[in-house]
Amino acid sequence: MGKNAVEELPYTIVPDGSVTTPAGFRAGGLHCGLKKTTRFDLGAIVCEVPATAAAVYTTNVFQAAPLQVTRDSISQEGKLQAVLVNSGNANACTGKQGEEDAYRMRSTLAQRLGIAEHYVAVASTGVIGELLKMDRVLKGVESLPAKLTDQNSGADDFCQAILTTDLVKKECCVQVRVDGKIVTIAGAAKGSGMIHPNMATMLAFMTTDAEIERESLQRLLGQTTDVTFNMITVDGDTSTNDMLVAMASGLAGNNKLHEGHPDWPAFAAAFRRVCEHLAQAIARDGEGATKLIEVNVAGAATEEGARAIAKTVIGSSLVKSAVFGADANWGRIIAAVGRSGVPVDPETVDIRIGDIVMLEQSRPIPFDEEAALEYLKGQTVVIHVDLHMGQGEATAWGCDLTYDYVRINAAYRT
């Protein structure tokens, strides 16, 4: 059932898996000329059958044209057979022309694949406010089907094609048994800057060969997004192009999944594992980042309150700067907790950085500064906050704020 199984988990991680590992999927990518370098900038994932589809989108009021196209596609039958993605240009705030260009991308790929137009979703990422160089895009779309393969090489090309300021590709694959059949769930994502979820601040694409009811897939996608992609931040900015699309080919041979299916909890846990891995990978690869920060909040009155506090702490520029400088400044953490907008008892808060206790019942505890310094120099920093008010828990992920973040974004268009 895959490699490196963990006994207590209902799923198995497939370390060499990709979005093409689930049955029925191919992927590929190429350079069409949107980027100034020769890096790939156009990619697609294609399913051999119309796949059950679900999606979530940015809540930014200014939504890029591809989001409208994808909504339109999914709304017609609740199925997709292809996702076409370009990087290097967001096709956002581009008016009627941008909308027409996104629909042309959809129709051109549909014609090349011989499928209905509404079976194609479109996604874009890159600079806002510039029209696509459609001659280059359409030429690339014409060539793309020949690049598609069900091998990992196709998935790798797709992952490279969707990157902007990302330094590394982001993917994950797991397997789980449903009705005795092996079901595979995989995902690929991009995201490094303009990351502050109010949905999922990035582009992400999930494939599975599970047979699943569309409504159940949509609910699972939304619920899982809330506790994974919606719990990451890099810089407090929510993009105009954020989109998370899931496609289920139904080729695994299982009985149709839904919330009442006996194997639903195992499938949902596996689905969450893929999303959580991708979310953490985005946070770790934040623009200019040197460290992944994890904030665990416990003892909140509600889960919603715990989420709000965790996201406030992880999003604090002062906390992020302190972690970059390896400064064990717990005062910045408690200040972020206090301004989260969530009711907190100011007399009962505990704070730990790693295993080092710094605050108990809201009172400072002497700690070893040298030990804290060494811990904060590591690549992963975990902050624990316990409010002692209830059972609400949540985890958020982010990264440190470095000089390079400013350098990268000061010259983003140039």
In one-letter notation, the amino acid at residue 263 is: D
Query: Of 242, 257, 207, which is closest to residue 82 (Cα–Cα)?
Result: 207
Contact (Cβ atoms closer than 8 angstroms) between residue 314 and residue 265: no
Please say if 201 is a catalytic residue: yes
Query: Of 239, 222, 192, 230, which is closest to residue 66 (Cα–Cα)?
Result: 239
Q: CA-to-CA distance for 72 and 180, rounded, in angstroms?
A: 36
**Chain centroid, CA 233 distance in Å:** 11
Contacts of 223 (CB under 8 A, 6+ apart): none
Q: CA-to-CA distance for 186 and 21, rounded, in angstroms?
A: 7
Contact (Cβ atoms closer than 8 angstroms) between residue 57 and residue 92: no
The CB density around residue 325, as the number of other CB atoms within 10 Å, is: 14
Alpha helices (H) in 129-178, listed in sequence order: 134-143, 152-161
Q: Which of 201, 207, 225, 228 is catalytic?
A: 201
Torsion of CA 387, 393, 399, 400, to 10 degrees: 0
Q: CA-to-CA distance for 2 and 71, rounded, in angstroms?
A: 35
Count of residues for the chain?
414
> Which positions are catalytic?
201
